[in-house]
Structure 1
Amino acid sequence: MSASLPSAKNSAAQSLGAEDPCAQFLSVLDTSLHHNALIKMVFSRHVGPEAELQRVSVKPLMVKDQPCLSFVYRYKTRDITRNLSLAEGVAQVAEWLPLVFKTAHLLTLTDELQLEFSKKGKAMLHRSKAAQARTLPSAEHDREKKRFLELSRPFLQDLGVTNGQHELIPAMSRKWKQINKFIEVFAHALSTSSLPTDRPLKVADFGSGKGYLTFAIHDYLRNTLQREAEVTGVELRQDMVTLCNSAAARLEHPGLVFECGDVRSVVPSQIDVMIALHACDIATDYAIHTGIRCGAAIIMCSPCCHKEIRLQIQSPGLLKPMLQYGLHLGQQAEMVTDALRALYLEACGYETKVFEFISLEHTNKNKMILAVKRATPQNVEALLEKIQALKAFYAIESQSLESLLRADGLLPGPTVLSPVQ
C-alpha cells in the first residue's frame, strides 16, 4: 500500500486508541525529539491570562552545541523569543494544554498532528502520515535570525530598552529595530573595509544623545567581535553626557567615553569610524568633512533637514510646474543635497551608498549615507564635472561640504568657494 495521506474525513474520524489525546500528542512530541525528527509546533486559539498573546511557534535549535526548543511568542505589537531545554520545553507544552491554548499543531519528518479542544473541553486528535519525505530546516542559532545584539546585554536594561527579565519593553520596539539595523549596516561595512585588527578601533559618534547606538557599537565590537575599541560619544547636552558616562562606568564599558560638544568643537586627531545620525542641516557636512579629514575608513550619516540647498534652488524651466509645490521642492532639495554629499565622498576616495536605513514606520529620518574608503581612487575629474553640472542645473552657488573640503585642499579647484555659515 502506498504511503499516501488519508482523506480529511478518514483522518478526522480515526480513533488513535483509547489513550488520552493530550498524552498521545506529547508522546509523539517526545518520540520526535528523541529521533531528531521535530520540524515545528504551533499553538493557537489562546485562552490564557496574557490578553495580547496571539500564538506561539516552536522549533528545535542548537545553542552552544546543546539542543533546545525555541519558543517565539507573537503578541499584537511584538515578538518575544525564549529558548528552553528539551525537558523544559516539553513541560511547558504539557502545561499549556488545554488551559492556555485550544489548538496545537505538530509537524515531524513522518507525521502531522492537530490537537483541538472544543468549547466543552473535549479533545480531538487528527493524525496523518507524510506523503513524501520531509527535511529538517537548519537548527543553527545564527541561521534562525541574524541578530547582532542580544536582549540580554546589560546596557539595554540600563538605557530602558529591556526590563529586569531582559524582555523588550513594548514602547522601545522601534528603537530596538533601529539599533539592530544600525549594527547590521556597520558590521557589513566593517567586513568590507581595510581597517587593521592589530590595534584598537577608534570610533566617534557625533550627536550621541542618550547613547543607544554608541553603547551598541561599543558592545558589538568588544563583546561580539572581541576587538579592542575606543568609542567616543559627542553630545551638546551636558546632562546626557553625564548620564552616559555614569552608565559606561557602572556597566564597566572600558574604552567608552562621552564628551560635551559638537562636530565643530570636538575634532579627534584620528578616526576609523565616523558616525553622525540626525545631524541637522550643514552639521552633517561638518561631520562628513571631519571624517574625511581624520582619515575615517567608514563614514555613516543619517541626514536631517536640508535648508542650505532648499534656499538656493532655482527651479529649471521644465521642472517649475512640479517644484512650485513646497512639498516637492523640499523633497528635491533633500535629494540634491544628499546626492552632492555622496558625490563629494566618491571624489575623496570612498565607495558610497545612499539607502533607506530603516522603514518609515519606525522613523521618518530613515536615509543613510554610508561611505567606505576605497583601495583604488576614482576618476576625480569626471566626478567633479558631474557635480558642477548638477549645481549648474539647479543654480546652486555654494555647498558647505565642498567649501570645507576645498579650504583644506582635499578637493582640487579654488581654495575657497564661499564662506560656510
Structure 2
Amino acid sequence: MSTLPAHPRRLLDWLTPAERNPPFVALDAPLAPAIRRFQDEPDLRLLPVLDALHKPIGAIFEKDVRRLLLNPFGHALLRNPAYGRRIETLIRPCPTADLHVPARAVLDSYAAENGQEGMILTSNGRLFAVISNRRLIRLAAEEQLQDAERQMARARRIETASERIEAEVAALAEQLRSLAGTLRNGATATAERAAINSAAATALAAEVAQRRDNLAAIGRETDALAATLDAIGRDTATARAATVEAVQRVDDSRTRIAELGSFAETIGTVTAVIRGIASQVNLLALNAAIEAARAGPAGAGFTVVANEVKLLAGQAGRAAQSVSGQVEAIRAAVERVSANQERVEAAIAAIAGMTHNVEHAVREQHLATHRIALNVGDSVESTHSVQNDIEQVGASASAAADNAAHIADLSIDLLVGAEQLSAGVDRFVSELHAS
C-alpha cells in the first residue's frame, strides 16, 4: 500500500475495514443466498455481482430486493425454480470508479451515473471496496470542507500577498518616482555636459585642423630644406674635390718652385764663375796692356786687343753682376712665392678640413631633416586621425545629448507610469478587499 500515490492513499485511509471487505455474490450463484444476505444485514444497500475474474459486472440493490419481497407474488416467484435461480434478473448497473483516481473524480463519476445507493471501487479492475450513498455524501462534504479550507487559505495568502504587493508596489512607485527624478536631473546634466563637450570638440577639431595645416607647411618647408641641403651637399662634395685638386696643384707648384730655386742657385753659381773669369780676363788684359806698353810700337796692336779684351771683360763682369742681381731678385721672389705657397697650402688645408666638416654636418643635417620630414608627415597623418576622432567625439557628444534628452522624456513617462501603477494597485487592492 505504501507505493500508492497521495490521493489513493488518502481514499484508502478514509475507507473503513467493512467497506474494504464488502460482501459480494458470484454471477453463477443462486438468488436466494443473495436475498438472505440483505435480510441478515439491514444496513446493506447493494451487493456487487462478480464474474469469474472477480470483476464487478453490476450489483443487486436493496430497494429491488425489498420491492420483490413486498410483492404479493414475490415469495411464489422465489419458490419458482425457473425464476428463483436466475440472479441476473436483479442485476442492474452500478456506479464504478477506480481506487487510484482522486476522491473528487470518484464523486464526479457517482454524480454522472446518477448514483443513489452507493458505488463500487475497483483496483486493477477487481472489486476492492463498496461505499454507501451516506458515506459518499460524507466524502463530498469532507471534500467541500477541504475545498473551503483551501479557498480560505488561498484567500488568506492572497490577502497577505496583496498587502505585501501593495507595500512593495508603493515602495517601488516611490523608488520609480525618485529614479525618474534622478534620471531627469542626470539626463539634463548629461545633455548640458554633452553640449559643452560637443562645442569643445568642435573647437578642438578646428584647432587640430589648423595645427595640421601648420605641420603640413612645416613638412613642405622641411622638404625644401632637405632639397637645399642635398644641393649644398653636392656643392660641398664638388668643393672638396676642387680642394683636393688645388692641394695637388699646390704640391706641384711647390715642386716647381723648388726646381726654380735650384735653377736660380745654379745660375748664381755660373754667374759667379763668369764674374771670376771676367775678373781674371780683366787682370789678364791689364797685364797684356802693361806688356804691350813695354814693347813699344811693336806692341801697339796687342794693346788694342788687350783694350778690347779688357772692355769685353768689363762688359762680361757687368753682365754677370746684372745677372747675379736678377738671380738674387728671382731667389727673393721664389722665397716669397714659396712662403705664400705655404700659406696658400695651409689655407687650402684649412678649407679642405672645413669642407670635410661642412660635408659631414650637411650629411648629418640632411639625415636629421629627413627624419624631421618623416616625423612631420607622420604627425600630419596622426593629426588627421586625431581630427577624425575628435569629430567622431563631437558627433557622439551630440548623439549623447539627444539620448539624454530622450532619457529625460522617458523619465517623465516613467514617473507617469509609476503614478498609474500605484493608482492601479490601489484600485486592485480596494476591489480585492471589497470582494
Report the structure, 1 or 2, having the larger helix content: 2
Report the structure, 1 or 2, having the larger strand content: 1
Larger radius of gyration between Structure 1 and Structure 2:
2
TM-score bracket for the superposition, by shorter chain length:
under 0.3
**So what's the TM-score if we normalise by structure 1?**
0.18
Q: Which has the higher contact order (CA 8 A, sep 6+)?
A: 2
